[in-house]
Structure 1
Amino acid sequence: MDVLDHAEQYLLLHGRLIDRLRFEAMFRGGPRERVLDALRGYQNADGGFGNALEPDLRGAGSQPEPVEVAFWILDEIDAFDSPMVTAACDYLASITTSDGGVPWVLPSVMDTPRAPWWQTDDDPPGDLVPTAALAALLHEHGVDHPWLAPATEFCWSRIAALKEPGAYQAGAVVTFLDRVPDRERAEAELARVRDDLLAAVSFDLAASGHVHFPLDFAPAPLRLPLFPQDVLDTHLDALLAAQTEEGGWTANWAMWTPLLEHEWGGHITMERLKTLRAYGRLPA
């Protein structure tokens, strides 16, 4: 059984409907409209997304991070023309802090079931996570919305002040610099912060725990000169080898309630398949 057939079996047995439909759209010629139909079920009346689209956030209410999850799904099926995007941008504008960014998580999370690491204070500041990825994807798809310009300036200012970023912040910076239209400025900033970004990457394939490898920062080939091809090839070989006997890929962080093993498993399986396809590692 090849990689795709094996993954399909895993998703059929364990994946959420949205991840099964994503697989059908990407690899079996299924309609993207089915993915959009499923994604709408996670969007709220305020334009934000919730309802466990990000599996560790179990509450129904909107949060910034599930908007990023939704945007990546819309990116993979080239559906940024969906009305869901404008509604989501309106939501982002409603929760933006005075400096132009959106918080990592809103205080309303404290009243909902969630993973223990989703914590915040009563007045959280804007954060590169998820502001940078949201802005990057809007730029990538040419979306014009009033939220984008101040969010972009927020990202530039935070990158200018960047010191010893964690893995999630580093990944957000890479996503932003890889897609923002001002290529000269992006390349100059990369040259300045490259060593700080690479310090957040684990190159040791034997590393355990919640570490982040090169392909987590470069799930598709980058415009930025961040990783040499031999490093990417080594990690792509390891990624193929990590497919489980069930056909999926697993998370390297704690599952705090049993349901999440397969909710995350289906999502991660789709992300790993996307990476393998982007680098030409899936059968034709």
Structure 2
Amino acid sequence: MPDLLAQAETFLHDQARLLDRYRFEALFREGPRERVLDTLRCYRNPDGGFGNALEPDLRGAASQPEPVEIAFWILDELDAFDDPMVLTACDYLASITTPDGGVPFVLPSVRSTRRAPWWETPDDPPGHLIPTASLAGLLHKHGITHPWLEGATRFCWERIGQVKETTPYEARAIVPFLELVPDRERAEAEFTRLKGAILDTVTFDPEASGDAHFPLDFAPAPSRLPLFEPETIERHLDALEGMLARDGGVVPNWPIWTPVVGHEWAGYLTVHRLKTLHAYGRLP
């Protein structure tokens, strides 16, 4: 097996933005996490939210909910939820929360910016499980106390309780919430009820092309709410190792509407997939 970390490092230096190169160094080369945090702050706005293409398909400077989720996942991987960015981001989320307790998928201000064509919204968008559920789950994981979290958690329980059929992106927001929320009895009951609907959104063929959502998208690390048989996970880990050995990195499998986002997503995804291999014991 080739040295996947060395190949990925070369790929990242050739293609990735500085943020993702520093993430790789912090996670796999004993680099300082402070450089990642300093770089992440460059995507932060005075309102406490994040924008500035932290989510590569949202090119505008203004804050949006989804870049906050990306920031939270980066802070999570660094075990940096003690950083002041977390609470100020919660203040931002509180400022855009709808009366039902959730934050919208995307705000109408997106219309005045360069963005991927699928980022559309009505004039008065409702709260959405994407990204409210992931945000709430991560705050619960790290024991964060903020007034926004109580209403957001209530919103997630209510919306999840209404789900019968779902989409891959919504399912990928529901799963971490159920994984991380403190009420384990309720979470396990909802997971049991929704497991079949979630699995219906999964692409099990590791060679499938297009905008497919694979088991490792739903289970990037071992979970206490396992969706998949071990054999399925191992088959997809093998496929991921093969991709990295062949290409050095991971490129997005959804439409690339302007060239720069292909590189930015490739860097983010490559570090994300290396984390998955590490979580399952495939990398040092």
Question: What is residue 186 of structure 1 aligned with on the other side?
Answer: 187
- Aligned counterparts of 1:233 and 1:267: Cα–Cα separation in 2: 23
Identity %: 65
Give the count of matched residue pairs: 283
| SS in structure 2 at match of 1:268 | helix
List gaps (5 residues or longer) in structure 2: none
The Cα shift of 1:228 comes to 1.2
- Aligned counterparts of 1:223 and 1:68: Cα–Cα separation in 2: 22
The Cα shift of 1:88 comes to 0.2
Question: What is residue 74 of structure 1 aligned with on the other side?
Answer: 75
Question: What is residue 215 of structure 1 aligned with on the other side?
Answer: 216
- Aligned counterparts of 2:187 and 2:98: Cα–Cα separation in 1: 24
Relative to structure 2, which stretch is displaced further, 245-254 or 136-145?
Answer: 245-254
Question: What is residue 258 of structure 2 aligned with on the other side?
Answer: 257
List gaps (5 residues or longer) in structure 1: none
- Aligned counterparts of 1:261 and 1:9: Cα–Cα separation in 2: 17
TM-score normalised by length of structure 2:
0.98
Deviation track 1:20-42 (CA, whole Å, cap 9, x = no partner) reads 10011000111111100000000
Question: What is residue 233 of structure 1 aligned with on the other side?
Answer: 234
Question: What is residue 136 of structure 1 aligned with on the other side?
Answer: 137
The Cα shift of 1:224 comes to 0.2
Question: What is residue 165 of structure 1 aligned with on the other side?
Answer: 166
Deviation track 1:99-131 (CA, whole Å, cap 9, x = no partner) reads 000000000000000000000010000000000
- Aligned counterparts of 1:182 and 1:200: Cα–Cα separation in 2: 25
Residue correspondence of structure 1 range 45-64 to structure 2 within 5 A: 45-64=46-65
Residue correspondence of structure 1 range 92-131 to structure 2 within 5 A: 92-131=93-132
Question: What is residue 152 of structure 2 aligned with on the other side?
Answer: 151
- Aligned counterparts of 1:235 and 1:248: Cα–Cα separation in 2: 16
The yes-or-no answer on 1:175 pairing with 2:176 is yes
The Cα shift of 1:163 comes to 2.3
Superposition RMSD in Å: 0.9
Question: What is residue 274 of structure 1 aligned with on the other side?
Answer: 275
Deviation track 1:239-258 (CA, whole Å, cap 9, x = no partner) reads 11112645111110011001
Note if contact 2:7-2:245 (Cα within 8 Å) is conserved in structure 1.
no
| SS in structure 2 at match of 1:256 | coil
- Aligned counterparts of 1:269 and 1:134: Cα–Cα separation in 2: 22
